[in-house]
Structure 1
Amino acid sequence: MSSVYEDVVWVDFDLLEHFMVDVFKGVGVPEEDAKICANVLITSDKRGIDSHGIGRLKPIYIDRIREGIQKPVTEFEIVKESPTTAVVDGHDGMGHVIAYRSMKIAIEKARKFGMGMVAVRNSTHYGIAGYYPLMAIEEGMIGITGTNARPSIAPTFGVENMLGTNPLTFGMPTDEEFPFLLDCATSVAQRGKIEVYGRAGKEIPEGWVIGSDGKTRTDTQQILIDLNTGGAALVPLGGIGEETAGYKGYGYATVVEILSAALQGGSFLKMLTGIGDRGEKKPIRIGHFFIAINIEVFTSLEEFKKTTGDILRELRASRKAFGQERIYTAGEKEYLAWLERKDRGAPLNDVLRKQLVQLRNELKLDNYKFVWE
């Protein structure tokens, strides 16, 4: 991935976050909601996950609001509730806001009753999945989330994009400086990572995407078009076919699809294309689920954190393959990215810089005079 960081300018996180708040407000998002949305996006950039950060501000959120397929003002409705569960309808509002409030509910239920789960329907893209388990970790809990998405992944032995990238994300507190956070798509690579390569004008590696002939493709720009038209599909975790266990990624993606649709009466698979019968754009209406587990109802938080930390330390201390300098555990690379970036900011290439200047000019945010123009 280092090649995609050629010819970038590093920009202060606070500047970008404030800018995103003002952009969201400029298209009608209430201020408090705008702060949530911006914080989710900048958290992604801070953790080195550029596929889900400010690079998606315009093409995913602002453009969809302007196209009328996503509502800037979120109507958050709890349609069913029990002491430990809730079903939420997001009514095509801001996915970050819907997800933030839903995880808050799960955490409060877990605080009172040990566990909490919230299932969501009619939401929109909620940004980096790991943000929401991090909320639970901050409260000394285990956090779990998943979401379905536009069809991207082909089933094993298939070539049609049916399932979303469908991340299944777990977060757990440890006694180290960073938590355990497994946040990854159930495909070999997610659409957002391909977008990063596209903005950099680079071809993607082989094995990420297959064409309708079942062969791997690397032509990034055309792939981004064909993922929407059905001419290309993402490969499930494990790879093409069964030899490297692609059926496992396919199976986990299906688990996320079911939990993001069947509990809450939501949309699934081809219902999530965002394209109507006449080819018009329409709300995608994805679903999510959020689980919070109160560790203290099982054991002391300190004991859990110590045991979890011991497991991770032993894994990293195990024998390394020839030529390898270190072993990582989930969440460690993102922590290291933060240490590297905290004084540098986020990397913006020319394509992204032009997008931000365009948004500034269109919304008349004249107080932002970017030094990198």
Structure 2
Amino acid sequence: MPAQHVAKSIKEGEVYWTEFDFLESFMQDAFQRIGVPEEDAKTCADILIQADKRGVDSHGVGRFKTIYYDRIVHQKIQQAVTEFEIVKDFAATAVVDGHHGMGMPISKRCMQMAIDKARQYGVGVVVTRNSTHYGYAAAYPLMAVEQGMIGLTATNARPSIPPTHGVENMLGTNPMCFGFPTDDGIPFTNDYATSIIQRGRIEKYARDGVAVPPGLVIGPDGSYLTDPADILKKLVSGEAACCPIGGSGEETGGYKGYGFATVVEVLSASLQQGAFLKALTNLDTEGNLKPYALGHFFMAIDISKFCDVELFKKTTGDIMRELRNSKKAPGADRIYTCGEKEIDATHEREGKGAPIGRVLQQQLNEVKKDLGMDDYVFPWEE
């Protein structure tokens, strides 16, 4: 079959900056070939590529094979066809069961449900059980922002964080992300985990062959681990844990990160009666693979029920501008507000694409070979 998709790229050493449209098309086609329905495949590919566009490389194309493709095709712990079941629906709230389907389409529908409920009741809250990894968290609050609302999401995850004074990974990296609209085109989005570092960043360190800085991950004896490949293995075996925001002890406020991770665990499990803590591993009691059964929390707040939307945007924009214009530390060039770096990355990467290093090249090559996708020509193949 003659090639129908040839990517534009810029080569920098071993890295190929590959155009977004090509990568998005490849992922969508690959998802469809493994059984994901067309609309769901579009959603999955779109959210993955949006992460790369915003500079969040830990949650973009780099996770396509390992977190989604492999779990459907090789591990068989995720369903390509999603059964979206509304278990309870009462006024401003709802409970959804995703039945181990595709986390991104599940979450997009849940966030839209929360937005629709907020439009009617002022606030909408939808919680989900038995879902799977839903990509980068900011995608969902930004849906609310685009419709003139405040958005919030939280999700639990497989065990990674120890409680303060502990070394056993019990809680997930458990992000909680808000989205606020502003009047300057830079929505506030605090998209980050409740640990100092999360698995996606460690995976990127491993792909890049770079050591993890000390102080971020601890072993059973409390010592810091820095080999990313070794850390990834030990997170699975329970011999490594990602320190919560603030660090492993109380002196630097580690109990705060631990506390927020626990809040996310409750919001992502208790309301919907889903799995939590060690039950979120992918192994059953006999060591067999099983779905992760993640839980998510989504909230939308209709600003217009409180004040004029444009006045809210102006006030929120003023807050951000005053923060950015405050006195800088010696040697600092700039003060950022949450979400600003992602907007900068979006502008910087226009016309350039996503960075595909050697490891990702190999992963994409494997998917292409497995699925016989000869109509795609990667730039590193030419």
Query: What is the TM-score when the length of structure 2 is the normalising length?
Result: 0.96
Residue in structure 2 matching 1:270, options 267, 274, 278: 278
| Superposition deviation, residue 316 in structure 1 | 0.5
| Superposition deviation, residue 177 in structure 1 | 2.0
2:240 is aligned with 1:232: yes
- Rounded to whole Å, the distance in 1 between the matches of 2:162 and 2:303 is 37
Residue in structure 2 matching 1:370, options 337, 362, 378: 378
Residue in structure 2 matching 1:217, options 209, 215, 225: 225
Q: Which runs of 5+ in 1 are unaligned?
A: none
User: Residues 351-370 of structure 1: matches in 2 within 5 Å?
Assistant: 351-370=359-378
- Matching residue of 2:5: none
- Rounded to whole Å, the distance in 2 between the matches of 1:85 and 1:177 is 30
Contact 2:104 2:135 in 1 (8 A): yes
- Rounded to whole Å, the distance in 2 between the matches of 1:77 and 1:205 is 43
2:35 is aligned with 1:28: yes
- Rounded to whole Å, the distance in 2 between the matches of 1:334 and 1:6 is 24
Letter in 2 for 1:146: A
Letter in 2 for 1:26: R
| Superposition deviation, residue 268 in structure 1 | 0.1
Residue in structure 2 matching 1:83, options 91, 99, 102: 91
- Rounded to whole Å, the distance in 2 between the matches of 1:350 and 1:372 is 9
What do the CA deviations read for 1:317-337 (whole angstroms, capped 9, x no partner)?
A: 000111111100000001111
2:343 is aligned with 1:335: yes
User: Residues 51-66 of structure 1: matches in 2 within 5 Å?
Assistant: 51-66=58-73
Letter in 2 for 1:179: P
SS at match of 1:372: helix
- Matching residue of 2:250: 242
SS at match of 2:50: helix
- Matching residue of 1:147: 155
- Rounded to whole Å, the distance in 1 between the matches of 2:100 and 2:13 is 37
Residue in structure 1 matching 2:133, options 95, 101, 125: 125
Letter in 1 for 2:224: T
- Matching residue of 2:192: 184
| Superposition deviation, residue 7 in structure 1 | 3.1
Letter in 1 for 2:168: E
Query: What is the TM-score when the length of structure 1 is the normalising length?
Result: 0.98
Give the percent of matched residue pairs that are identical in Structure 1 and Structure 2.
Answer: 60
- Rounded to whole Å, the distance in 1 between the matches of 2:115 and 2:185 is 22
2:182 is aligned with 1:171: no
User: RMSD across aligned C-alpha pairs, in angstroms?
Assistant: 0.9
SS at match of 1:80: strand
- Rounded to whole Å, the distance in 2 between the matches of 1:55 and 1:17 is 12
- Matching residue of 1:42: 49
SS at match of 1:260: helix
- Rounded to whole Å, the distance in 2 between the matches of 1:122 and 1:371 is 38
2:25 is aligned with 1:18: yes
Contact 2:16 2:379 in 1 (8 A): no
- Matching residue of 1:7: 14
Q: Which runs of 4+ in 1 moved over 4 A?
A: none
Residue in structure 1 matching 2:268, options 260, 269, 275: 260
Q: Which runs of 5+ in 2 are unaligned?
A: 1-11
Contact 2:18 2:379 in 1 (8 A): no
What do the CA deviations read for 1:39-74 (whole angstroms, capped 9, x no partner)?
A: 110010001011100110110101111122100000
What do the CA deviations read for 1:178-229 (whole angstroms, capped 9, x no partner)?
A: 2111111000011100000001111111111001111111111111100000
| Superposition deviation, residue 6 in structure 1 | 6.5
- Rounded to whole Å, the distance in 1 between the matches of 2:110 and 2:287 is 32
User: Does 211-220 or 88-97 show the bigger shift?
Assistant: 211-220
SS at match of 1:248: helix
